[in-house]
C-alpha cells in the first residue's frame, strides 16, 4: 500500500489517519503507519508548531488508545490547556485525562490552569476543568482546589453545579477529610428541582457516608427531604424529559432508595419515616418492565436492611416471589439470590414461596438451579423436613454431577438437625447415597457410620437394608463403604434375626457364606478403590469370629493379600494373618464389636454439660453440634466428622482444651478492615445487618494465605459478642465449597449463622460473609480454634488457625 508523504507542510487529518490504520492488512503495516505519523508529530512538537498542535495531539490520543506509547505528548497537552481557544482547551484536557495520572509529577503543573479555568466565565470551559479535575486529581490537588469546587456547587447554573458535585465525589473518595468543605452545601442541593443535580447530590451523600462515620449521623436529619423527593417522583404526572417506560426518572429513584437504605440502617426513627414511602413505591411501581423491576429490587433491599415493619418485610418478600414467576432468567436469578440473603430476616414469609422455589430446581440454567438449591436448604425446618428431603432427592437424581456433592452434604446436615427419628434418618441417608452414587464426600461416609453406630436399635435393620443393596450393585463406592463397615460390625445380627422385622419389609434368607462372598467379591473387584478395599478387609476380619464357619475362608483371603502390591492392604493382611496363627487366642477380643459412638446431634432436650461447643458453617441452616467428653487431641477430628470416637474416652480435666489452644502451630495478625453489606434478621441483634457499622474494637486478620483473606470484625450487643466474618479471594480463580468451622471452650456459647454463599468470586469482586455469635457469661478470655475447607482449581485445600489474641474489648 502507498502512504502519503508526511513531509508535507499540512499534517493529515485525524479521520485520514484512522482510515489508513484501519486499511492496514497486517500488524506490521499498522505499526509502520503509526511510527511514521508519530515521527512527524515529534518533529512538529520540536519545531513548536502552534498551528497544528491541536490536530497532532488529537491524533496522538487515538494512537494511545490503540496501545502505542504517547507519553511524549504530555507537555503539549499542558500547552493546549493554557491556550485561550476553546477547541485547544478541549483537546488539551482530554489529553490530560488520558495521558496523565496522579502518579506522574507532571500533573502538578496543571493545577494553576485548572484553578483559572474553574473561575472562567464560560460555563463550558469551567465544565472541562471540573471533568479533568475529577479524573486526575491527587490528594494534594484535592486540597488545593476543593474550595473552588465548593464555590461552583453553589452556582445558579445547573450544568456547572452537577459537574462540581461529581468532582466533589471524586475528591471525597481521595481525601475523606474534605467532608467539612462540602457538607454545608448538601442541604441546598436537595432542594434543587433539576434532576441531574439531585442525582449527583445523592451520589455525593452516599460517598460521604461510606468514607466518614460522622456523616451518617448528620445526614440522617435529611431523611424527610429524601422521602419528599421520592414521593414527588412517584406522584408526579407524565414528564417527557424524565420518563423512562412510563416511570419518572428511575435512575434518581434508585439512588434515593440506596441512600435511604444507608441512612435507615440501625436507626429506628429514620426507618419509621421511610416506611410509608417504601410501601407506596412497592405497591405503585409497574413491574411489567425491567425499569420497574430495578426500582422494586432496590426497594426490597432497602426494606430488608432498615428497621422496617414486619408487614413491610412480608411485602418485600412477596415482590421477590413475583420475580420468581418472571420469564427473564436474570430476574429469577436476582430474586433467588436476594431471597437467600434475606431468608433469615423473615423465614416464614419466604416459606410461603417454597413451591415456586422448588420449581426453580428444574430450570435449565445452572446458576438459577444452584441458587434455588441453596435456598431450599435454607428453608428446611422440622415441619417440612420430610417433604423437602423428598424434593431434594428428586433433584439429586436429575441434577448435574457438579451439584451432587454439595447437595448430598447439605441434605445430610439438614437431616442431622431436623430428623424426626433415627430410623427415618438412616433410611433417607441410604437413599441419598444410592441416588448420589460416587459423588459423595468422604466426611459423609464417616458421618453416616457414626449415626448408625449411635442407634443400637437399628443395627440389624441397617445392616439388612445395606446388604440388600450391595448384593445387586457394588459400583457406588461411598454406599459400599458404609455397607462394609455396617456388615463387619452388625452383619451377624440380621443373620441371626436379632432385630425386629416390620410388616412392610421384604423377608429374605441370608446365610453367613453369602455375606462373606459379597465382601470378598468387593475386595477382589478391580474397580473398588483402595479405601473401599480397606473397609472390606477390615469387615472380613471382624466377621471371622462372628461367622466361625467362614473363618477358614477369611484366613485364606488374608494369606493371599499378605503379598498384595498395595502397602496398606499388605500390612493389614499380614497383621490379620498373625491373628489367625500366632495370636489366635486374642483374636476374638481384638475384633470385637466397637463401642457405640457418642452422637453429636443437638436436640432440644439435651442439657448435659459439654466440654466445648463447635459449629460448622457448611450448611445454609447453620447446623450446630455439641460433643461430650472428648479428648482435646481429637479436636480437629471432631471438626472433620460430626460423628466420632467412642464413649469410653473420658476427659480428665476440662481445662485441657487450653493445651490445644496454646499450641504454637498457628499465628495471627491484627489489622483493621471494614465489613459491609450484611443483611440481618429482625429477631437478631441489630449489628447482624450492619453494612457500615463502626466499632471501637479493632478488627482481626485471621487468615491471609494463597489469595484467601479471612477477617473478623467485632461488635458488642448486650451480653453477646458478634463476630462479622468476611472472606475474600484475590486470585484469578473462584474459591468453591467454602466452609468455616469453629470450636470454643465449654464456658462459652457459640452460634454460627449461615454464610451468604459457599463460593468466593475471583479478583476480590465479591466475598462471603458470616456472623458468629458468642456468649461469655464469665467474662473469660476468648480462645478459638478454626478450620477452613475449600476447593481451589479442583483441589481440596484447608487452613487451620489458633486464635488466642482477641482484642481485650471482646471479653470485657
Nearest 10 degrees: CA dihedral of 420, 422, 426, 429?
A: 40
Smallest CA-to-CA distance from 714 within 758, 666, 673 is with 673
Each residue's pLDDT tens digit, 434-445: 998 888 888 888
Using the structure block, give the residue that is written with the C-alpha cell 454406599: 479
Rounded distance, CA 647 to CA 630, Å? 9
Write down the pLDDT at residue 537: 92
Count of other CB atoms within 10 angstroms of residue 786: 24
User: In terms of DSSP H, where are the helices of 361-457?
Assistant: 366-379, 385-398, 401-418, 422-436, 442-453
Residue 218 near residue 183, CB atoms below 8 Å: yes
Please state, rounded to an integer, the average pLDDT across all residues of the chain: 80
- Going by pLDDT thresholds of 50, 70 and 90, the confidence category of residue 252 is very high
Mean pLDDT of 101-106: 67
Residue 189 near residue 197, CB atoms below 8 Å: yes
Q: Is 756 helix (H, G, I), strand (E, B) or coil?
A: coil
Smallest CA-to-CA distance from 87 within 59, 112, 54, 118 is with 54
Write down the pLDDT at residue 357: 92
Each residue's pLDDT tens digit, 379-394: 999 899 999 999 999 9
Each residue's pLDDT tens digit, 165-221: 999 999 998 888 888 888 888 888 888 888 999 999 999 999 988 888 788 888 888
Residue 528 near residue 536, CB atoms below 8 Å: yes
* Cβ burial 400-431 (10 Å sphere, 16+ → b, else e): eeebbbbbbbbbbbbbbbbbeebeebbebbbb
Smallest CA-to-CA distance from 142 within 109, 116, 107, 172 is with 172
Each residue's pLDDT tens digit, 284-307: 888 888 888 999 999 999 998 888
Cell reading at 723: 463476630
Rounded distance, CA 494 to CA 461, Å? 7
| pTM for this entry | 0.64
Rounded distance, CA 197 to CA 203, Å? 10
Residue 133 near residue 169, CB atoms below 8 Å: no
Smallest CA-to-CA distance from 769 within 676, 668, 669 is with 676
Mean pLDDT of 499-512: 62
- Strands 247-248 and 243-244, by their bridges, are antiparallel
Q: Is 71 helix (H, G, I), strand (E, B) or coil?
A: helix
Rounded to the nearest 5°, which phi and psi values hold at 613?
-125, 140
Q: Is 190 helix (H, G, I), strand (E, B) or coil?
A: coil
Long-range contacts of 21-24 (CB under 8 A, 24+ apart): 21/66
Helices and strands in the chain, H and E counts: 35, 15
Per-residue HEC secondary structure of 230-298 comes to HHHHHHCCCCCCCEECCEECHHHHHHHHHHHHHHHCCCHHHHHHHHHHHHHHHHHCCCCCHHHHHHHHH
Rounded distance, CA 540 to CA 545, Å? 10
Mean pLDDT of 436-464: 86
How many CA atoms are closer than 13 Å to the CA of 204, on its beta-carbon side?
31
Write down the pLDDT at residue 394: 92
Each residue's pLDDT tens digit, 336-377: 999 988 888 788 888 889 999 999 999 888 999 999 999 999
Write down the pLDDT at residue 607: 32
Smallest CA-to-CA distance from 774 within 784, 764, 765 is with 784
Select the more confidently predicted residue: 41 or 104: 41
Considering the chain, what percentage of its residues have pLDDT values greater than 90? Answer: 22
Task: Out of 127-131, 313-317, 796-800, pick the least confident.
Answer: 796-800
* Cβ burial 472-506 (10 Å sphere, 16+ → b, else e): eebebbbbbbbbbbbbbbbbbbbbeeebeeeeeee
- Going by pLDDT thresholds of 50, 70 and 90, the confidence category of residue 7 is very low
Write down the pLDDT at residue 498: 53
Rounded to the nearest 5°, which phi and psi values hold at 586?
-100, 5
Select the more confidently predicted residue: 692 or 24: 24
Residue 149 near residue 168, CB atoms below 8 Å: yes
Strand partners, 751: 773
Write down the pLDDT at residue 460: 86
Smallest CA-to-CA distance from 597 within 637, 640, 648 is with 648
* DSSP string for 300-348: HHHHHHTT--HHHHHHHHHHHHHHHT-S-HHHHHHHHHHHHHHTTTSHH
Smallest CA-to-CA distance from 506 within 478, 480, 541, 467 is with 467
**Axis-axis angle for helices 86-99, 53-65 (nearest 10):** 30
Rounded distance, CA 380 to CA 457, Å? 27
Q: End-to-end CA distance of the chain: give it in Å, rounded.
A: 81
For 104, 463, 515, 626, 627, the CA distances from 499, given in Å and listed in that order, are: 83, 10, 17, 30, 29
Rounded distance, CA 202 to CA 74, Å? 35
Long-range contacts of 755-760 (CB under 8 A, 24+ apart): 755/617, 755/620, 756/340, 756/341, 756/678, 757/340, 757/374, 758/374, 758/406, 758/618, 759/734, 759/735, 760/708, 760/727, 760/728, 760/729, 760/734, 760/735, 760/790
Rounded distance, CA 481 to CA 474, Å? 10
pLDDT at 476 over 80: yes
pLDDT at 758 over 80: yes
- Sequence-separated (6 or more) residues with CB below 8 Å from residue 387: none
For 288, 313, 686, 778, the CA distances from 680, given in Å and listed in that order, are: 29, 12, 7, 27
Each residue's pLDDT tens digit, 697-751: 888 888 888 889 999 998 887 778 889 999 999 888 889 889 999 988 888 888 8
Using the structure block, give the residue that is written with the C-alpha cell 433433584: 395
Mean pLDDT of 783-797: 86
- 3-state helix, strand, coil split of the chain in percent (to 5) is 60, 10, 30
For 471, 536, 569, 573, the CA distances from 526, given in Å and listed in that order, are: 17, 13, 14, 18
Alpha-carbon Rg of the chain, whole angstroms?
Answer: 35
Write down the pLDDT at residue 727: 93
Each residue's pLDDT tens digit, 636-660: 333 333 333 333 333 333 333 333 3
Considering the chain, what percentage of its residues have pLDDT values greater than 70? Answer: 84
Residue 343 near residue 352, CB atoms below 8 Å: no
pLDDT at 528 over 70: yes
Amino acid at each position: 500500500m502507498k502512504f502519503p508523504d508526511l513531509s508535507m507542510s499540512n499534517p493529515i487529518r485525524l479521520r485520514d489517519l484512522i482510515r489508513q490504520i484501519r486499511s492496514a492488512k497486517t500488524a506490521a503495516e499498522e505499526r509502520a503507519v503509526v511510527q511514521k505519523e508519530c515521527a512527524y508529530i515529534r518533529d512538529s512538537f520540536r519545531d513548536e508548531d502552534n498551528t497544528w498542535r491541536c490536530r497532532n495531539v488529537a491524533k496522538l490520543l487515538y494512537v494511545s488508545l490503540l496501545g502505542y506509547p504517547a507519553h511524549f505528548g504530555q507537555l503539549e497537552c499542558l500547552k493546549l490547556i493554557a491556550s485561550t481557544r476553546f477547541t485547544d482547551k478541549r483537546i488539551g484536557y482530554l489529553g490530560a485525562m488520558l495521558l496523565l495520572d496522579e502518579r506522574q509529577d507532571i500533573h502538578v503543573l496543571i493545577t494553576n490552569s485548572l484553578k483559572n479555568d474553574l473561575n472562567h466565565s464560560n460555563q463550558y470551559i469551567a465544565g472541562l476543568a471540573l471533568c479533568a479535575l475529577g479524573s486526575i486529581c491527587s490528594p494534594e490537588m484535592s486540597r488545593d482546589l476543593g474550595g473552588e469546587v465548593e464555590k461552583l456547587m453553589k452556582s445558579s447554573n445547573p450544568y456547572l453545579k452537577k459537574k462540581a458535585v461529581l468532582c466533589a465525589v471524586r475528591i471525597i473518595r481521595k481525601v475523606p477529610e474534605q467532608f467539612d468543605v462540602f457538607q454545608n452545601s448538601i442541604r441546598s442541593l436537595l432542594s434543587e428541582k433539576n434532576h441531574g443535580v439531585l442525582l449527583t447530590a445523592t451520589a455525593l451523600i452516599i460517598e460521604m457516608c461510606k468514607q466518614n462515620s460522622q456523616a451518617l449521623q448528620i445526614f440522617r436529619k435529611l431523611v424527610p427531604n429524601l422521602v419528599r423527593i421520592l414521593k414527588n417522583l412517584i406522584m408526579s404526572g407524565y414528564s417527557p424529559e424524565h420518563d423512562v417506560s412510563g416511570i419518572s426518572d428511575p435512575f434518581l429513584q434508585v439512588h434515593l432508595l440506596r441512600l435511604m437504605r444507608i441512612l435507615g440502617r440501625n436507626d429506628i426513627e429514620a426507618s419509621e419515616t421511610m416506611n410509608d414511602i417504601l410501601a407506596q413505591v412497592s405497591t405503585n411501581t409497574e413491574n411489567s418492565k425491567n425499569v420497574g423491576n430495578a426500582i422494586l429490587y432496590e426497594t426490597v433491599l432497602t426494606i430488608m436492611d432498615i428497621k422496617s415493619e414486619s408487614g413491610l418485610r412480608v411485602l418485600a418478600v412477596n415482590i421477590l416471589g413475583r420475580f420468581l414467576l418472571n420469564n427473564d432468567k436474570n430476574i429469577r436469578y436476582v430474586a433467588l439470590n436476594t431471597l437467600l440473603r434475606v431468608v433469615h430476616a423473615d423465614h416464614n414469609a419466604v416459606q410461603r414461596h417454597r413451591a415456586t422455589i422448588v420449581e426453580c430446581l428444574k430450570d435449565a440454567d445452572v446458576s438459577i438451579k444452584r441458587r434455588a438449591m441453596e435456598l431450599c436448604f435454607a428453608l428446611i425446618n422440622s415441619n417440612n423436613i420430610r417433604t423437602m428431603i423428598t424434593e431434594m432427592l428428586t433433584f439429586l437424581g436429575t441434577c448435574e454431577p457438579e451439584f451432587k456433592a454439595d447437595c448430598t452434604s447439605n441434605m445430610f446436615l439438614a437431616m442431622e438437625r431436623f430428623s424426626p427419628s433415627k430410623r427415618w434418618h438412616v433410611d433417607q441417608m441410604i437413599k441419598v447415597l444410592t441416588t448420589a452414587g460416587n459423588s459423595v464426600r468422604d466426611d459423609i461416609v464417616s458421618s453416616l457410620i457414626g449415626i448408625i453406630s449411635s442407634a443400637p436399635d437399628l443395627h440389624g435393620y441397617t445392616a439388612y437394608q445395606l446388604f440388600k443393596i450391595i448384593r445387586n450393585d457394588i459400583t457406588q463406592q461411598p454406599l459400599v463403604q458404609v455397607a462394609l463397615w455396617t456388615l463387619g460390625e452388625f452383619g451377624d445380627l440380621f443373620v441371626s434375626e436379632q432385630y425386629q422385622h416390620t410388616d412392610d419389609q421384604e423377608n429374605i434368607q441370608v446365610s453367613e457364606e453369602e455375606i462373606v462372598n459379597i465382601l470378598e467379591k468387593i475386595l477382589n473387584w478391580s474397580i473398588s478403590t483402595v479405601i473401599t478395599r480397606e473397609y472390606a478387609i477390615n469387615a472380613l476380619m471382624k466377621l471371622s469370629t462372628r461367622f466361625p464357619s467362614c473363618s477358614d475362608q477369611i484366613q485364606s483371603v488374608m494369606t493371599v493379600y499378605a503379598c498384595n502390591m498395595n502397602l496398606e492392604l499388605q500390612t493389614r493382611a499380614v497383621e490379620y494373618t498373625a491373628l489367625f496363627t500366632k495370636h489366635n487366642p486374642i483374636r476374638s477380643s481384638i475384633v470385637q464389636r466397637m463401642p457405640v459412638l457418642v452422637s453429636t446431634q443437638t436436640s432440644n432436650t439435651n442439657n448435659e454439660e459439654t466440654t466445648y461447643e463447635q459449629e460448622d458453617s457448611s450448611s445454609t441452616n447453620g447446623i450446630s453440634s455439641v460433643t461430650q467428653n472428648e479428648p482435646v487431641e481429637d479436636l480437629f477430628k471432631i471438626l472433620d466428622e460430626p460423628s466420632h470416637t467412642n464413649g469410653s474416652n473420658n476427659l480428665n480435666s476440662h481445662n485441657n482444651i487450653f493445651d490445644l489452644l496454646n499450641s504454637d502451630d498457628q499465628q495471627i495478625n491484627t489489622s483493621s478492615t471494614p465489613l459491609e453489606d450484611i443483611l440481618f434478621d429482625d429477631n437478631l441483634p441489630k449489628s447482624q445487618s450492619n453494612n457500615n457499622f463502626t466499632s471501637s474494637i479493632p478488627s482481626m486478620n485471621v487468615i491471609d494465605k494463597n489469595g484467601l483473606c479471612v477477617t473478623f470484625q467485632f461488635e458488642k450487643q448486650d451480653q453477646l459478642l458478634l463476630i462479622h466474618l468476611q472472606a475474600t479471594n484475590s486470585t484469578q480463580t473462584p474459591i468453591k465449597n467454602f466452609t468455616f468451622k469453629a470450636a470454643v471452650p465449654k464456658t462459652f456459647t457459640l452460634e454460627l449463622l449461615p454464610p451468604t454463599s459457599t463460593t468466593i468470586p475471583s479478583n476480590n469482586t465479591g466475598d462471603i460473609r458470616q456472623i458468629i455469635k458468642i456468649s461469655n457469661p464469665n467474662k473469660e478470655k476468648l480462645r478459638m480454634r478454626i478450620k477452613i475447607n475449600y476447593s481451589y482449581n479442583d483441589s481440596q485445600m484447608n487452613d487451620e488457625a489458633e486464635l488466642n489474641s482477641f482484642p481485650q474489648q471482646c471479653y470485657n
